[in-house]
Structure 1
């Protein structure tokens, strides 16, 4: 009987659930989220440094402020993407 259950065709709903739970697919999704997060943070600090250099400010407070806002944006983006994945 177990052999017969393995050979029975799966419904589209079962195939969709199996696809969603595929470990390699989830690994790809989560690793892409990490790279997006790193890119947003890096662009925030790089852009902050460029603006700070352009304005010729004596301290790096603008770099830190823009970089931290990039960090906040990256965290917000990550949480939204994780929320969509878990639905």
Structure 2
């Protein structure tokens, strides 16, 4: 009698990888959008005309989202 074969966990799951990558895109968009909105709010709250908080917050959001993408891409098995 032959034992049943167990699933091979070393094989990449392409559907799971596609779901993770599409989730990363939405996460990037959400981080950048919320950072931008926070910068706009800070500029309005402190009545700053040159939008310095918007620029700083948006660039910070881009940096944070890139860091999040890189850390999540390290976890994906291709």
Superposition TM-score, scaled by structure 1 size: 0.76
Structure with bigger helix share is: 1
SS at match of 2:34: helix
- The aligned residue for residue 5 of structure 1 is none
- The aligned residue for residue 76 of structure 1 is 67
Root mean square deviation, CA, Å = 1.9
The number of residue pairs the alignment matches comes to: 76
Query: Computing the radius of gyration over CA atoms, which structure comes out larger, 1 or 2?
Result: 1
Give the alignment partner of residue 10 of structure 2, picking from 13, 17, 37.
17
Runs of 5+ consecutive residues of structure 1 not aligned to the other structure: 1-7
Structure 1: 4+ residue segments shifted above 3 A:
none
Runs of 5+ consecutive residues of structure 2 not aligned to the other structure: none
Greater relative contact order (CA < 8 Å, ≥ 6 in sequence): 2
- 2:26 paired with 1:35: yes
Superposition TM-score, scaled by structure 2 size: 0.84
